[in-house]
Amino acid sequence: MYFDERENEIDYTNYSNEVNSVEKNYTQNDYKKWDNDFKVDIENLNINNFNNRESVNDLYTAKEGLNKGNMFRNLFNPYKSYVYKVVVNGKKDELLLKIQELTFKVVDLNLYLDINPADKNMYNEFKKAVEELKANKDLYEKNYGPLCVTETLYYDDYMWSKNPWPWMSEGGKK
Amino acid sequence: MFKYEKMLEYPVNIKKKDLRMAKLMCDQLGGANGELSASLRYMCQRYTMPDEKGSSLLTDIANEELSHFEMIQVMISQLVKDASLEEMKEAGLDTYYVGHKRGVYPMNSNGVPYTAAYIEVSGNPMVDLMEDMAAEEKARATYENLMDMTKDQDLLAPLSFLRQREVVHFNRFKELYEEYKRKGM
């Protein structure tokens, strides 16, 4: 109900009489119909909930992290418990997915380390992921062409433009 | 400087054409709370951060948002792939076709072109960080609304991923904000 206090001309002396007359004339169910000023569906309202921060070091694996979009268990906050799994077919795409998973781990730990540079445990975890990423990228570069223009040392020809671009996936029909 | 990696942050492979969703997704492309807004906002705000924590966090998140911008572009381009003129007309995209055909133009879902007026660079780290937190929350809510609009798993998966990234970014900005506050800024 909209109510402007500046135009407050309700006579409170009659207020209790009004309420009594309402109670006499309406049954319990009618009250519900009557009370429709506005509705906020609190149960389905999505609020970013802040879980405890004690277990910062509790990480998902790189694979699970990419599926969830989050490496940190304590920050994970799903919407309607939607969680999806990335599935790819073929050796090339599997290797690319592995690279994407490790890249994701590096990206997410990177953000954490930006503001917690003194966390040695996390830094070691970060270093391990970078090392594994490097090895996998090297393997990809050797077999399927460069992901970065400078990764070209295995080739005699210019390979950069020969790989499909990311939007030319199966869904993009190429 | 920036280097390009020939892959997406999260794989996108949409097989089903959905022009209506393509139109709605434009909100995250060139809308007020979209990924382009996010990337430019942090990229421009980083010069007045008080210490190396702020500079690096804003640079890295700006960088990640740019790859989200790319993901949204790829999703839109795959959603409109092979659409006939008749289908575009039906989905209300005839007005889009006139200017952009099947290209990917940064505008919001109502066709308003992207503008830098969507972002703020106040020069004050506390004000900027507060804006960044709000921006992440608005983007998160927009992703939830987009997820309500589709049942296509190929589309829901990347949307869910992108939404979760907003949650993480929000928390990182909040941590930095609280640290600066403790230091008396």
Q: How confident is residue A55, by pLDDT bands cut at 50, 70 and 90? A: low
Q: By the 8 A CB rule, do A65 and A108 touch?
A: yes
Number of domains in chain B: 1
One-letter identity of residue B146: L
Q: What is the pLDDT of residue A18?
A: 56
Q: What is the CATH number of the domain that holds B129?
A: 1.20.1260.10
Q: Helices B35-45 & B125-148, crossing angle to 10 degrees?
A: 170
Numbers of helices and strands, H then E, in chain B: 7, 0
Q: For A10-43, write each residue's pLDDT tens digit.
A: 555 555 555 555 555 555 555 455 454 555 555 5
CA dist B16 to A171, A172, B77, B80, B95, Å?
8, 10, 12, 9, 22
Residue B152 lies in a domain: yes
Q: By the 8 A CB rule, do B64 and B165 touch?
A: yes
Q: For A92-142, write each residue's pLDDT tens digit.
A: 999 999 999 999 999 999 999 999 999 999 999 999 999 999 999 999 999
A contact residues 57-96, partner B, Cβ 8 Å cutoff: 66-70, 72, 75-80, 82-84, 86, 88, 96
The pLDDT mean for chain A works out to 77
User: Which residues from chain A sit within 8 angstroms of residue B150, using beta carbons?
Assistant: none
Is B6 in contact with A79 (Cβ distance < 8 A)? no
Distance of CA B119 to the CA centre of its chain: 13
Q: By the 8 A CB rule, do A77 and B171 touch?
A: no
Q: Which residue has the higher pLDDT, A53 or B160?
A: B160
CA atoms of B75 and B81, how far apart (whole Å): 10
Residue B3 lies in a domain: no
Chain B contact for A126, CB < 8 A?
no
Q: For A62-106, write each residue's pLDDT tens digit.
A: 999 999 999 998 888 888 776 788 888 889 999 999 999 999 999
DSSP class of residue A153?
T
Q: What is the pLDDT of residue B146?
A: 96
Please identify which residue in the block is written with the tokens 């319990």.
A28
Q: By the 8 A CB rule, do A171 and B15 touch?
A: yes
The domain of B121 spans 19-182
Q: Which of B148, B144, B141, B140 is nearest to B169 (CA)?
A: B140
Dihedral class, residue B96 (left if φ above 0, else alpha if ψ from -120 to 50, else beta): alpha
One-letter identity of residue A1: M
pTM of the model: 0.84
Q: What is the pLDDT of residue A173?
A: 43
Is A69 in contact with B168 (Cβ distance < 8 A)? yes
CA atoms of A81 and A171, how far apart (whole Å): 26
What residues pair up with A59 in beta bridges, in sequence order?
A: A72
Q: What is the pLDDT of residue A47?
A: 55
User: Which residues from chain A sit within 8 angstroms of residue B183, using beta carbons?
Assistant: none
* CA nearest to A97 within chain B: B11
Within 8 A by CB and 6+ apart from A31, the residues are none
CA atoms of B172 and B133, how far apart (whole Å): 9
Is B176 in contact with A79 (Cβ distance < 8 A)? no
Percent pLDDT > 70 in chain A is 63
Residue B6 lies in a domain: no
Nearest-CB residue to A147 (from B6, B11, B176)? B6
Residue B101: its H or E element: none
User: Which residues from chain A sit within 8 angstroms of residue B168, using beta carbons?
Assistant: 69-70, 72, 75, 108, 111
Q: Which two tokens stand for residue B182?
A: 């403790």
Q: By the 8 A CB rule, do B135 and B172 touch?
A: no
Concatenated DSSP letters for chain A?
Answer: ----GGG----GGGHHHHHHHHHHH--HHHHHHH--S----GGG--------STTTT-BPPHHHHHHHT-SBGGG---STT--------SHHHHHHHHHHHHHHHHHHHHHHHHH-TT-HHHHHHHHHHHHHHHHHHHHHHHHH--SSTT--TT-SS--GGGSPPTT-STTTT-
Q: What is the pLDDT of residue B53?
A: 97
Q: Which two tokens stand for residue A66?
A: 């990419």
Q: What is the pLDDT of residue A88?
A: 87
Residue B27 lies in a domain: yes
Q: Which of B112, B39, B32 is nearest to B70 (CA)?
A: B39
Q: By the 8 A CB rule, do B185 and B124 touch?
A: no
What residues pair up with A72 in beta bridges, in sequence order?
A: A59
Q: What is the pLDDT of residue A1?
A: 43
Chain B contact for A44, CB < 8 A?
no
Is A111 in contact with B176 (Cβ distance < 8 A)? no
One-letter identity of residue B118: Y
pLDDT along chain B (185 residues), means of 10: 93 92 96 96 96 97 97 94 92 92 93 96 97 97 94 93 96 96 91
Q: What is the pLDDT of residue A56?
A: 64
Q: What is the pLDDT of residue A15?
A: 54
Numbers of helices and strands, H then E, in chain A: 5, 0
Residue B9 lies in a domain: no
Q: How confident is residue A166, by pLDDT bands cut at 50, 70 and 90? A: confident
One-letter identity of residue A51: N
Residue B140 lies in a domain: yes
B135: buried, middle or exposed (CB in 10 Å: 19+, 13-18, 0-12)? buried
Please identify which residue in the block is written with the tokens 């430019």.
B40
